């Protein structure tokens, strides 16, 4: 009789558990479909045949749109920027891009569970979601320890944040290229703990609450579910004696001088990306990037129009009529002698091929366009007026 009751109880339990399992697994499949990692191409809104130059231009545009320093009120800006930077790094690395194309071949919309996409998983609210949070509940549902347990915030390596700054350069410095040193206050590896976050002579210890598993089990009826341990934040490790210098953060704000190389031909408001020059990552994580926006100061004589530099050349009446030689400035800071053929009509131009500013991306140089202007005196003496009248009469008789 007891055996029959036990069998009946097990059968009843299976009948109750089976619908619950089916419901959870169905929700899990929908969740995986909704929260699938986004492809690096779709993150940047690019076609798979995009050239490296198109990737760079697209990244510059999106970086200005989502950079945390420019979107202080948007809490998700830093996450979007991290996803964007990861996608950019993937598409600019030939090996990683080839691996991405091979992994997602034949499936543009999404990749398989083992495919690399070069992005981050986000939910419908654009909040970062750890894949382990989706898998751990269902692994614990069957009574097994989750092999996908998340590495919590307490001891995990975290990539540093990107930063942006501005720099001013003179027109000729931008044309020739130069180096500038900028001073910033950045998060840097704590010199006291060398980035571990632990006080000297101590180290991280195993969490006593979850015994190092990082998972705290909760019983919900017949189901046993695992949630991240609140004390260690799911890492399984705790810091009992944090570093006094950084208070366990592994980084601290310190001044730093960074040498910025300005390429020849940089344009006004162009943004330069310096990898690894941003805030230091915590506990061994990679440093963020530094974005430098270059402001080119105007020149008193040169004007930049597209790839060509324009220069006004004033001529006196005699020089315009009889021809002359004049000295004109160059982008290298020197002066060159230019022969002006007579007569030089005011408003005409002369193009010096290859004398303009260098092209950053396409290579080569633009042109220098000279505009000849007639420089007239503000006042005339009686003798000058007499000579001009005589000259005008000669011109009329000649016609």
Length of the chain: 399
Maximum average pLDDT range among 45-49, 157-161, 312-316? 312-316
21's CB contacts (< 8 A; 6+ apart) are 141
Q: What CATH code is assigned to 303-398?
A: 2.60.260.20
pTM: 0.56
**Predicted pLDDT at 6:** 41
**Predicted pLDDT at 16:** 45
Q: What is the mean pLDDT of the chain?
A: 78
* Segment among 8-17, 70-79, 150-159 with least mean pLDDT: 8-17
**Predicted pLDDT at 156:** 66
36 pLDDT more than 60: no
139 pLDDT more than 60: no
Give the pLDDT confidence of 77-116 residue by residue, as tens digits.
777 887 888 888 889 888 888 888 887 765 444 444 334 4
The mean pLDDT of 361-375, rounded to a whole number, is 91
**Predicted pLDDT at 221:** 67
- Classify 72 in phi/psi space as left (phi over 0), alpha (psi -120 to 50) or beta: alpha
Tokens 């009446």 correspond to 317
- Cα of first residue to Cα of last residue in the chain, in angstroms, is 136
Domain locations in the chain as residue ranges: 303-398
Give the pLDDT confidence of 197-241 residue by residue, as tens digits.
889 888 888 988 888 888 877 777 666 677 888 888 787 888 888
Beta strands 368-374; 308-315: pairing state: parallel
**Predicted pLDDT at 100:** 83
**Predicted pLDDT at 210:** 87
Task: Categorize the per-residue pLDDT at 312 as very low, low, confident or very high, splitting at 50, 70 and 90.
Answer: very high
5 pLDDT more than 70: no
Record the tokens describing residue 50, joined without a space: 């995009």
* Segment among 37-46, 171-180, 186-195 with least mean pLDDT: 37-46
Buried b (16+ CB within 10 A) or exposed e, 18-42: eeeeeeeeeeeeeeeeebbbbbbbe
4 pLDDT more than 50: no
Q: What is the C-alpha to C-alpha distance for residues 350 and 70, in angstroms, rounded to an integer?
A: 44
Q: Is 288:278 a contact under the CB 8 Å cutoff? A: yes
Q: Is 190:249 a contact under the CB 8 Å cutoff? A: yes
Q: Measure Cα distances from 139 to 10, 21, 67, 147, 222 in Å.
A: 21, 12, 37, 8, 15
- Residue 373's DSSP bridge partners are 314
């Amino acid at each position: 009789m007891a055996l029959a009751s036990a069998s009946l109880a097990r059968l009843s339990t299976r009948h109750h558990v089976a619908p619950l399992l089916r419901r959870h697994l169905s929700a899990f499949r929908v969740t995986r479909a909704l929260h699938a990692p986004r492809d690096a191409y779709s993150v940047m809104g690019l076609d798979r045949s995009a050239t490296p130059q198109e990737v760079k231009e697209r990244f510059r545009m999106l970086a200005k749109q989502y950079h945390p320093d420019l979107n202080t009120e948007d809490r998700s800006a830093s996450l979007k920027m991290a996803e964007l930077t990861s996608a950019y790094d993937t598409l600019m690395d030939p090996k990683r891009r080839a691996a991405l194309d091979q992994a997602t071949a034949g499936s543009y919309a999404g990749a398989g569970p083992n495919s690399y996409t070069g992005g981050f998983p986000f939910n419908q609210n654009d909040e970062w979601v750890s894949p382990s949070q989706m898998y751990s509940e269902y692994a614990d549902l069957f009574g097994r320890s989750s092999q996908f347990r998340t590495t919590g915030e307490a001891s995990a390596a975290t990539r540093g944040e990107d930063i942006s700054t501005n720099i001013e350069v003179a027109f000729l410095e931008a044309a020739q290229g130069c180096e500038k040193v900028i001073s910033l206050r950045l998060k840097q590896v704590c010199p006291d703990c060398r980035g571990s976050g632990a006080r000297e002579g101590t180290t991280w210890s195993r969490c006593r609450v979850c015994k190092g598993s990082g998972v705290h089990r909760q019983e919900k009826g017949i189901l046993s579910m695992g949630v991240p341990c609140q004390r260690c934040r799911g890492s399984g490790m705790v810091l009992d004696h944090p570093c006094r210098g950084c208070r366990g953060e592994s980084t601290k704000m310190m001044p730093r001088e960074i040498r910025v190389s300005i390429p020849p031909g940089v344009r006004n408001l162009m943004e330069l990306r310096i990898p690894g020059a941003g805030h230091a990552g915590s506990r061994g994580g990679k440093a963020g990037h530094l974005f430098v926006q270059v402001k080119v100061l105007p020149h008193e004589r040169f004007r930049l129009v597209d790839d060509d530099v324009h220069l006004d050349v004033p001529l006196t009446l005699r020089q315009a009529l009889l021809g002359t030689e004049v000295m004109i400035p160059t982008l290298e800071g020197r002066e060159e002698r230019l022969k002006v053929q007579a007569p030089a009509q005011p408003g005409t131009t002369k193009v010096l091929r290859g004398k303009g500013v260098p092209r950053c991306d396409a290579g080569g140089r633009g042109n220098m366009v000279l505009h000849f202007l007639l420089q007239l005196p503000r006042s005339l003496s009686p003798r000058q007026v007499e000579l001009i009248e005589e000259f005008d009469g000669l011109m009329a008789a000649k016609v």
